[in-house]
Amino acid sequence: MFSISSPLKKSKSRSSSMGSEADRYPRRQFFHNNNLFFTLKMLFLLIFTNLVTIFIFSSLPFSLSSSDPPHTHLFLHQETISHLLQELNSTKSKLFDSYSLIADLHHKINSTNFLVRDLVIDIIRERKLSLPVDEEADFFGIPPTTASLSDELKLAILPHKLPLGYSPRMASDEIYPPIGAACLRFQKELAQYMTYDIGGECPMDDVFAQKLLLKGCEPLPRRRCHPKSPIGYVEPTPFPDSLWATPPDTSIIWDPYTCKSYQCLIDRKNFPGTVDCKDCFDLQGREKRRWLYDRGLDYGLDQVLQTKPAGTIRIGLDIGGGSGTFAARMRERNITIITSSMNLDGPFNSFIASRGLIPIHISVSQRLPFFESTLDIVHSMHILSNWIPDAMLDFALYDIYRVLRPGGLFWLDHFFCQGPQLNQTYAPMFDRIGFTKLRWTVGKKVDRGVDKNEWYLSALLEKPMT
Residue in 292, 362, 373, 367 with CA at minimum distance from that of residue 325: 292
3-9 own/partner pairs: CB under 8 Å, 24+ apart:
none
Least confident range from 13-22, 216-225, 334-343: namely 13-22
Tally Cβ neighbours within 10 Å of residue 80. Answer: 14
457 vs 414: CA distance, rounded Å: 5
Specify whether the CB–CB gap between 150 and 195 falls below 8 A.
Answer: yes
367 vs 369: CA distance, rounded Å: 6
456 vs 417: CA distance, rounded Å: 7
- Domain 241-463 in this protein, CATH class: alpha beta
Specify whether the CB–CB gap between 359 and 328 falls below 8 A.
Answer: no
In this structure, which amino acid lies at residue 272?
Answer: P
- Tens of pLDDT, residue by residue over 253-310, are 999 999 999 999 999 888 877 667 888 999 999 999 999 999 999 999 999 999 999 9
- Tens of pLDDT, residue by residue over 84-130, are 777 777 776 776 677 677 777 766 776 676 677 667 766 766 665 55
Q: Is the pLDDT of residue 29 over 60?
A: no
Helix/strand/coil for 370: coil
193: exposed, middle or buried (C-beta count within 10 Å: 0-12, 13-18, 19+)? Answer: buried
Please give the DSSP secondary-structure letter assigned to residue 384: S
> What's the mean pLDDT in 325-348?
96
End-to-end CA distance of the chain: 163
Share above pLDDT 90 across residues of the chain, in percent, rounded to a whole number:
50
> What's the mean pLDDT in 172-188?
84
265 vs 252: CA distance, rounded Å: 13
Domain boundaries, the chain: 148-215, 241-463
**pLDDT value of position 430:** 92
Please give the DSSP secondary-structure letter assigned to residue 379: E
Residue in 334, 295, 303 with CA at minimum distance from that of residue 316: 334
443 vs 272: CA distance, rounded Å: 26
* More confident site: 60 or 231: 231
Answering whether pTM is above 0.75, one says: no
Residue in 368, 370, 369, 331 with CA at minimum distance from that of residue 352: 331
Kindly provide the b/e burial profile for residues 399-433, where b requires at least 16 CB atoms within 10 angstroms of the residue's own CB. bbbbbbbebbbbbbbbbbbeeebbeeebbeebeee
27: exposed, middle or buried (C-beta count within 10 Å: 0-12, 13-18, 19+)? Answer: exposed
**pLDDT value of position 183:** 85
Residue 112, CA distances (Å) to 99, 105, 399 in order: 20, 10, 44
Residue 246, CA distances (Å) to 328, 341, 352, 454 in order: 13, 18, 10, 35
β-bridge partners, 175: 160
In this structure, which amino acid lies at residue 178?
Answer: P
Q: Between 7-24 and 26-57, two packed helices, what is the crossing angle to 10 degrees?
A: 70
149 vs 351: CA distance, rounded Å: 36
Specify whether the CB–CB gap between 268 and 275 falls below 8 A.
Answer: yes
